[in-house]
Structure 1
């Protein structure tokens, strides 16, 4: 566990998001595209919540190493929020109600959650969501076919986000277990909660996007039937991630017991050589199985 990726904040990256990115940038498929687009709408407020949840315990952290990791985690998450806000402006121009979505998520995370939960519970939710994010990042970029027919600029955005999620995947967990002293059942109850709440939130936003796109009720039902099969069929989007997901529930679990994505080094070397996140994203994608 001592040998793992180093947290490196990377700022002022240009993904060409002001360019002529197709509306349905993933395989010309509305469902697949809107799944990733819906997640993007959640990231700005979500990343702010993660930062806030971790920083609520910063004065209790005595380890210099963990203190630095929290600072680097904060810088990375702030950049993710910034770039996804830029991406979400594209969606706003398409008619997606980004401001309303942000307002709803902000109320849920920074008003309701602060009334109904403790700082430890909010940190447990953050740790669980960080595990789900790392799971998706690692698993999606292991399989080249998933993002094969996607716009290279958006794919590069998600590749960069994935790399940094892998780098800081243990920070919230370490603060939760080492500083907040949360136990096994507390962290796992939070995981069960977000395992239901997160997909429901994403699906509601996707359905809003489908309505904005002009699809009828019957068209949307057909898209959901086909899309859910893509999600959950054997070998689909999520079934191969099951082992990664379930690992969180094991006694003695730690995020660094799960290896980072196999092609992590490929992205890192390409970015260090070129300084181009799109070239690095292409290299990461090409290295998938």
Structure 2
């Protein structure tokens, strides 16, 4: 396997086709109107798929803000030398992208409240962050957690862009929202990790916080989805459970496609941009760039 440094897009300093920024990252404002809301079962009438994705959205405003804070705090510890110039630029663009994600999902979540859904995930996450700060957790630990969650979201983004064709049946504006988010998660998937490496973060703590993130994400996403389905009145319908089983364990289920990249994080020479087995033009980054190019009328470039 190629070494970490070889895989870093920031170290390579090669802007992609979707960005004129030296870091290869672009801050975009999504041009969709959530003011009119969307159907309760916006995912092609499927209660489980709608409420699972709604649960994920509920985590984003608090989660994205914590990622912004972690990257900003740790970037301040990185010397502003020529060798780190692109990484500093990437962190600024990362913060811009995450801020736009936080904003659009706050609007999304506001509509979910009008549908009678209750966002508990934001309170669970807020309490954990406050507890860690109270105990004096160092910025590098928050960054390790951020790198872990960024890998989780990048793996889910890969699944959505590469395999999740069922999204084609969803409300068009929701298709756009989720694929735009997936494309940008793919773009900036290495920033927190590269910053952690540049600050000499340890492998041991990287793995400890990854195990923590996987556990917490799995538990929180499950219980928030169950709560959503409960309030939706569809928790005990057989079709709900059948849909969940197909999504995770079906022939093209998420478990089969996500397991290998999730386990890859344990490698000492891991890097988020490693896609050794993907054919040319089929790497997730290429798929993301292609989607962004084909749907350029869906967003406005900010910087």
TM-score range, shorter chain: 0.7 to 0.9
Change (3 A) 1:220 1:4: farther
Aligned to 1:148: 168
Distance 1:229 1:163, change over 3 A: closer
Q: Is the 8 A contact 2:37 2:111 kept in 1?
A: no
Alignment of structure 1 residues 205-244 onto 2, 5 Å = 205-215=224-234, 219=236, 223-224=240-241, 226-244=243-261
Judged with a 3 Å threshold, the aligned counterparts in structure 2 of structure 1 residues 86 and 20 are, in CA distance, closer, same or farther, namely closer
- How do 1:178-189 and structure 2 match up within 5 A? 178-179=198-199, 181-189=200-208
Say which SS state the counterpart of residue 223 (structure 2) adopts.
Answer: helix
Please, which of 111, 114, 135 is the counterpart of residue 90 of structure 1? 111
How many Å separate the matches in 2 of 1:215 and 1:33?
11
2:247/2:254 contact within 8 Å kept: yes
Contact 1:4 1:256 in 2 (8 A): no
CA distance in 2, matches of 1:202, 1:191: 16
Cα shift at 1:230: 2.8
Q: Matched residues in 2 for 1:194 and 1:223: separation?
A: 26
TM-score, scaled relative to structure 1: 0.86
- Superposed CA deviations along residues 83-128 of structure 1, whole A, max 9, x for unmatched, are 0001111101011123x5433432222x112134332222111101
Structure 1 range deviating more: 219-228 or 139-148: 219-228
Cα distance change of structure 1 residues 214 and 139 upon mapping to structure 2, 3 Å threshold = closer
> Is 2:177 the counterpart of 1:157?
yes
**Displacement of 1:234:** 4.6
CA distance in 1: counterparts of 2:234 and 2:101, whole angstroms: 31
Shift of 1:201: 0.4
- Please give the root-mean-square deviation of Cα atoms over the aligned residues, in Å: 2.2
Q: 1:9 aligns with which of 20, 24, 27?
A: 27
Task: Say whether residues 1:23 and 2:47 are aligned partners.
Answer: no
Which residue of 2 is the match for residue 103 of structure 1? 123
Work out whether 1:77 is the aligned partner of 2:94.
Answer: no
Per the TM alignment, residue 168 of structure 1 is displaced from its structure 2 partner at its CA by 0.8
Which residue is 2:269 aligned to? 252
Q: Residues of 2 paired with 1:95 and 1:124: CA distance?
A: 35
* Alignment correspondent of 1:197: 216
Deviation at 1:19, TM superposition (A): 3.0
Q: Structure 2: where are the runs of 5+ without partners?
A: 1-6, 17-23, 276-282
Q: Which residue of 2 aligns with 1:287?
A: none
Kept in 1: contact 2:160–2:179 (CA 8 A): no
The TM-score with structure 2 as length reference comes to 0.82
Give the helix-richer structure, 1 or 2. Answer: 1
What's the offset of the Cα at 1:222?
7.1
Structure-1 separation of matches of 2:39 and 2:243? 22
Alpha-carbon distance in structure 2 between the residues aligned to 1:24 and 1:129: 27
Give the Å deviation of 1:215: 3.8
CA contact (8 A) 2:34 2:108 kept: yes
Is 1:266 the counterpart of 2:287 in the alignment? no
